[in-house]
Structure 1
Amino acid sequence: MPEALYDKVNEIGSVGIMLASPDDIRSWSYGEVKKPETINYRTYRSEKDGLFCEKIFGPEKDYECFCGKYKGIKYKGIVCERCGVKVTTSKVRRKRMGHINLAAPVAHIWFFKAMPSRIGALLSVKASSLERVIYFQDYIVIDPGPSELKQKELINEEKCREMRNLFGDQFKAAMGAEALSMLLAELDLEELSTELRRELSETNSKQKQKDLIKRLKTVESFLHSGNDPQWMVLDVTPVIPPDLRPLVQLESGNFATSDLNDLYRRLINRNNRLKKLIDLNAPEVIIRNEKRMLQQSADALFDNNRCRRPVLGSRNRPLKSLTDMIKGKQGRFRENLLGKRVDYSARSVIVVEPELKLHQCGLPKKIALELYQPFIIRRLRELGLADTIKSAKKMLERRDEEVWDILEEVIDKHPVLLNRAPTLHRMGIQAFEPVLVEGNAIKIHPLVCGGFNADFDGD
């Protein structure tokens, strides 16, 4: 079985990052999240169709359905006809996703507020103008018809009403993410690429050439990657697995929760309210305001720090959004995927020791025990001091006298590698002959600091 797994891993040549289509998002999902509730605070069980629903995300207890009708591994794979929960391991709550069907489309904040604005580059609309359309301040002309206005021109409500009275259905203008979706749907990327290349060859202005090259790069990227520009406007939002946004009960009885749950709750509340208003045929002004609020809650969920007014939590701290979870040093990529904990390694502060030779380093005894553990265990077994690896490990834990003698023996002819981040050139990692020392700090000769660019202020 492991061999088959390795074969599958080796088949993967690369990982690509693409825009997710609405169909992709729904295909990942195990069900629609309809309610903003997390758990029932009387029973401490998850709410049905809520953010922690067991039917969508899987059981909280291994091989036990929500209602308790099926318990045990013998029922594995059975879907309970009473509560709808599939009997399986609770680990699935780390990978099962849900989705929220939005009552109105929302534009993804990464693609209109980031610089350069991808939507702006494709439509040739300034980022500030895009924001006025997305947040329902101005209309954007989709089809000017017989009017003197141009496509993608911004107009206020009064002008829009006047044009509609004059030209009726021949004139089309809209606002919000829905308007951008209509314009993106009309784009012919190949035709646009040809047009931009023609303009580029004809213009002599350096600034215009620079702007055209930026637009052309974006258009070419969409053409070659197979992404559809319409996917930058969402009508369905993914809900990440509950174990990646946990809700934990503290000893005091209070609950600590991930900020994402608050952001999802805001989005679901506003989405449900908008659905209700549409069903009630509420006035256009009210629906428009609710759509704007839905857009703002989606912005906060995806990238709260980029919002004009970020959603604040306790002590006026901006809530951590999905972007905050994946970006930066503590983000998912750098902390978990690129930075791994390694066996037989240690980390400590360095202190100066001029008495050492240039090729030596002072290694604390407890660090040496960890680094040389396999050598010590093998030597203990060779000498007949331990019969099994388990008993040898117990001797190491007890710090038996024989262990120290063997440690002195094995460090000879086994150098250690010292690394100081950031490792910018090959001298960032150097080999040293260890000398056992007391204390917790690694000792090095002052003359080797140059290669590491190290000093003794806490490195």
Structure 2
Amino acid sequence: DGDQMAVHVPLTLEAQLEARTLMMSTNNILAPANGEPIIVPSQDVVLGLYYMTRERVNAKGEGMVFADAKEVQRAYDTQQADLQARIKVRITDVTFRDDAENETKTEIVDTTVGRVLLFNIVPEGLPFSMVNQKMAKKPISQILNACYRNVGLKETVIFADQLMYTGYQFSTRSGSSIGVNDFVIPKEKAAIINQANSEVEEIENQFASGLVTQGEKYNKVIDIWSRANDIVAKSMMEGLSSEIVVNKEGE
């Protein structure tokens, strides 16, 4: 749109080295302001990781027990178990220690196929418990933070790239789509709107009686409808975020 911009070219070798050190993305993993990770997946990547790690009742392979992560990978590749099936698997965690040898712990955990597949790309030194949950944006940020502090810069950069590739892969496989039929009108909507209408009518009566000014009436009406809109949106999201299913025991 016609804006002018200054371009600064580092000429000397020292200037180039300083620019490379300060500006490369691999050297800016954490935000200087609060120490939180800057390199955090978003949008499609988060969708893929969430789809990969969520549970689904009655999925194919539910209840199966595996000796290790390789068996889980083989069962998924041969379509013996679905990605979101709840399973048991033997997992070995390695914890790095500065003052002693690395600590190794093996146990059988309740998890899903997708979480075990995700653990395959996690660097050694991070516990399985960090990926044994639904991976939304906050847990992903936490695992990147822990990776940087416990494993180091190089492994964190590689891990962030692997998260991106894995997230895109499984968001594509999920075939996720959204349509107008997915937005179910909440049952509480009529009651919420009626309540807002009665509150607005009360404000109108106060204005007619001279108890509030035109500006006060306007602000209060805006607040009432904004609050009603938020409540309806929250009710709709609560309906979308859960589904009723019957497991094998009929519960």
RCO (CA 8 Å, sep 6+): is it higher in 1 or 2? 2
Quick check: which one's helix share is greater?
2
Q: TM-score, normalised by structure 1?
A: 0.15
Quick check: which one's strand share is greater?
1
Q: TM-score, normalised by structure 2?
A: 0.23
